[in-house]
């Protein structure tokens, strides 16, 4: 009698699951994953793929995705900002002046109000929305900002990262 080779068959639940989802070979984090090359389930997990620990077959992770970089679309400033659109409440600042660094050159910047997310003040130079500047505070701290709007001699800057303001001092004034 000739030698008969016996192969181990896949568990029926694995085959059923594969038939239900179609032929998409990906590594799913919260499921039992069997290698399409050898059928085993020992994996080395990376950032974008998983590699079988026995045969080296690599499959992509189901949880990863690729996002195309998009260019922000400039919007027209046809509505006046209201308090409803703001993320942080404004603090009035009478007579306070800061330095605005435009391409490294300092300019005096009289501010009208400030919040954790940005500052409004008198327009300086010929800045346009989207321009990147730095705001130098009294202690010499530089905060990067972007020009959000320019209107009627005023300018609105949004800080790249929000800052922390001491609101207790403002409340006592």
Rounded Cα–Cα distance for residues 140 and 95 (Å) = 18
Domain with CATH 2.40.10.430 in the chain: 88-172
Residue 161 contacts residue 137 (beta carbons within 8 Å): no
- The beta-carbon contacts of 85-93 under 8 Å, at least 24 apart in sequence, are 86/115, 86/117, 87/115, 87/116, 87/117, 88/115, 88/116, 88/117, 88/162, 89/115, 90/114, 90/115, 90/120, 91/115, 91/165, 91/167, 91/170
Q: CA 55 → CA 28, 52, 61, 103, 140, distances in Å?
A: 19, 6, 18, 56, 59
Q: φ and ψ at 17, to 5 degrees?
A: -65, -40
Residue 73, both tokens: 């679309």
Three-state SS for 7? coil
Class of the CATH-defined domain 88-172: mainly beta
Q: pLDDT tens per residue, the chain (173 residues)?
A: 455 555 555 555 666 665 666 666 888 888 889 998 899 999 998 888 899 999 999 998 877 655 555 555 555 555 455 545 667 788 888 788 888 988 888 898 899 998 888 999 998 878 899 999 999 888 788 889 999 999 988 999 999 888 887 777 554 44
- Counting every residue, how long is the chain? 173
């Amino acid at each position: 009698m000739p030698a008969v080779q016996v192969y181990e068959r896949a568990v029926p639940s694995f085959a059923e699951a594969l038939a239900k989802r179609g032929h998409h070979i990906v590594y799913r984090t919260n499921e039992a994953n069997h290698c399409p090359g050898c059928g085993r389930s020992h994996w080395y997990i990376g950032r974008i793929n998983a590699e079988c620990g026995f045969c080296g077959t690599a499959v992509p992770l189901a949880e990863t995705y690729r996002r195309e970089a998009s260019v922000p679309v400039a919007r027209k400033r046809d509505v006046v900002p209201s308090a409803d659109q703001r993320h942080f409440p404004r603090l009035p600042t009478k007579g306070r002046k800061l330095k605005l660094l435009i391409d490294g050159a300092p300019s005096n910047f009289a501010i009208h109000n400030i919040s954790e997310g940005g500052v409004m003040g008198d327009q300086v130079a010929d800045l346009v929305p989207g321009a990147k500047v730095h705001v130098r505070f009294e202690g010499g701290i530089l905060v990067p900002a972007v020009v959000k709007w320019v209107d009627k001699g005023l300018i609105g800057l949004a800080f790249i990262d929000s800052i922390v303001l001491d609101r207790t001092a403002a409340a006592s004034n």
